[in-house]
Amino acid sequence: MKSDKSDVLIIGAGPAGLTAGIFTCRAGLGTTCVEKLAVGGQASLTYNVANYPGFESISGFDLTEKMANQAKNNGLKLEWGTVKSLTKTKSGFSLKTQDRTYTSKKVIIATGCKTRKLGLKDEERLTGRGISYCASCDGGFFQDKVVAVVGGGNTAITDVEYLSRLAKKIYLINRSDKFRAGDYEVGKIKKFKNLEILTNAQVVELFGDEKLDAILVKDNLGTKKLAVDGLFIAIGSTPDLDFVKFDLKTDKAGYIVVDDNMRTNVENLFACGDITNRDFRQIVVACAQGAIAGNSAIGEK
């Protein structure tokens, strides 16, 4: 098995990991970033980003590609592989993929988290073309249009409240007749005149060629087809930290607990981006956390 040694090892090449790499590389630290799928992570799937400073409108793919090019031009070494394990050693950390071992004194975890999906046919194809997992990211593209939100927790309720100021009509689709969100929050959105709530219901089929144009909803009375321009899926996200083989402090939902400097409870181990226990998840926030994490790693040289 091949081995690689660096001053800093970053896991995940999304906006947070790439920004962290820019900072550590510019400080002269040899930095390797391991990514399992594609540069940019979830952010690269966003069809149009309109709230990132400096770009009035840019695709997530183009934005994260620019980040990756900047990081590589500053010396970041990008490697591809699925992380199997991260363990502590006497001198730092050891990371293993399917065919390589990486060692480093410092590690920055920037793996993000997996958004839960409905698991429907064409869901991946229509993501960014009507289907979104972030209302605050993409809601602005649905001004005066008809949208649906799937979910019954706080995120879904927050999405409805946000979209109520933009969309002409909103369907809130909850698979139960009870909401996981608080009664006060649910009661608040029930007053919205442009909202229709469907309970004991679920989306079972998607329609659209170039973009989403309708969904099929099943409830206790049968099925009905709803014409919608957008579908916001808010059924939660899943942090994936099974590769960590030591005691790492996380919150109840499984996100890494960090301080204001992106330090974890483990010395020389940092975390940034959507994998951390911070509520506001945006590309610009991930970049800011990446900059802090990278600077913290530099400061503990």
Segment 185-214 shows an average pLDDT of 95
**Residue 93: what pLDDT?**
97
Structural domains in the chain, sorted by start: 2-114+237-299 (3.50.50.60), 117-233 (3.50.50.60)
* The two structure tokens encoding residue 8: 């800093």
Segment 33-52 shows an average pLDDT of 83
**Residue 44: what pLDDT?**
82
Asked whether 218 and 227 are in contact (CB, 8 A), the reply is no
Segment 268-283 shows an average pLDDT of 90
**Residue 1: what pLDDT?**
63
Q: Residue 301: which pLDDT band, with cuts at 50, 70 and 90?
A: very low
State pLDDT tens for residues 279-292: 777 899 999 999 99
Residue 38 CA to residue 163 CA, distance in Å, equals: 30
Residue 14: pLDDT over 70: yes
Segment 190-206 shows an average pLDDT of 96
Residue 41: pLDDT over 90: no
Q: Residue 236: which pLDDT band, with cuts at 50, 70 and 90?
A: confident
State pLDDT tens for residues 126-182: 999 999 988 878 899 999 999 999 999 888 998 999 999 999 999 999 999 999 888
Segment 265-274 shows an average pLDDT of 96
Residue 258: pLDDT over 50: yes
pTM of the model: 0.74
Share of the chain above pLDDT 70, in %: 98
**Residue 265: what pLDDT?**
97
State pLDDT tens for residues 65-117: 999 999 999 999 999 999 999 999 999 999 999 999 999 999 999 999 888 89
Residue 142 CA to residue 74 CA, distance in Å, equals: 38
